[in-house]
A and B are shown apart, each in its own frame.
Chain A
């Protein structure tokens, strides 16, 4: 009987050791995965859509996927529709976060090395029958830019100042057949310093509801 007890005890010990090794291996694998996720931001790369989608849901999901704390955002400006434009900085990325009625309604983030990319620009169309057909274009600006120019497809343009590293244009949705914005151009001390195409083209500003 004592031998049998000792035998069961050895088996139990082996199982415990095996379990401990498995847990340790899983911990290493999990830590590696976590490091890989963090290193994509630390390495100044934008997280993939899969990484964004895997980030826990809730306010500021995109910002959190970039390693930016959305609760530390500071208010930069207010849009005509009442939305508040805020900016949050992280170690290697920056986010523009719009808030509507106290809720985050839009986010645009980029690594600090890609502040002049299309992913920093958000265009919102208020197309409902009860809305005032307003269109808001907001975005981050590269460091050094002092002014931004919004250029329409017919070559006409308007400018706006850079405020807190962001820009905004309040307007209305372009009616079919009328000029529509296509590009933003950043200016540093009056000189062009870069451009980005808007993430929307002719015929895409107000989408159908059928």
Chain B
């Protein structure tokens, strides 16, 4: 399982990036969530074991809720600057190995 990786990027590039999840995820709208909220601007989801329907979400309790759906991968962006959590959902109905990746 990959989690909470602080990535080193060149100056002026990304400030923080995090892989989360990475294990088997049940298909009934189950999700993995980032370890913490950050000023994420992009959230990506991947399945290593097929092309299930995935959904990526950036959200907080302050009314931010952006969702992107895709087959095998998913993406969602957010440019509001608030601290948001990142989630990746498996909406396929079957279990798949799924990894999320969010960056500020």
Contact = CB atoms under 8 A, between A and B. Distances in A.
Contact of B51 (A106, A119, A129, A204): A119
A198 B74 CA distance: 13
Interface string B1-26: 00000010100011001010000000
Closest 4 CB pairs of A and B: A105-B77, A129-B63, A118-B71, A49-B46
A122 interface: yes
Contacts of B101: 53, 57
A20 interface: no
Give the interface residue-count category, chain A. Answer: 35 or more
A95 B40 CA distance: 23
Interface string B65-104: 1111111111111010000000101010000011101010
A129 to B, nearest CB: 4
A106 B66 CA distance: 12
A152 B7 CA distance: 43
A127 B72 contact: no
A207 B68 contact: no
Given A57-B14, A118-B51, A105 B42 contact: yes
9 contacts: A49-B97, A50-B48, A53-B48, A61-B44, A105-B42, A121-B71, A122-B70, A131-B66, A204-B91
Interface string A34-50: 00000000000010111
Nearest to A107: B75
Q: Which of A119, A125, A129 has the most CB of B within 10 A?
A: A125
Contacts of B36: none
Nearest to B93: A201
B75 A105 contact: yes
Interface of A: 46, 48-50, 52-53, 57-58, 61-62, 98, 100-101, 103-108, 117-119, 121-131, 198-201, 204-207, 209
Interface residues of B, number: 46
Given A61-B44, A119-B73, A123-B69, A199 B29 contact: no
A87 to B, nearest CB: 16
Given A49-B72, A130-B63, A204-B55, 5 more contacts: A105-B76, A127-B66, A199-B54, A199-B91, A200-B69
B57 interface: yes
Given A49-B73, A122-B68, A209-B61, A103 B41 contact: yes
A121 B48 contact: no
B11 to A, nearest CB: 14
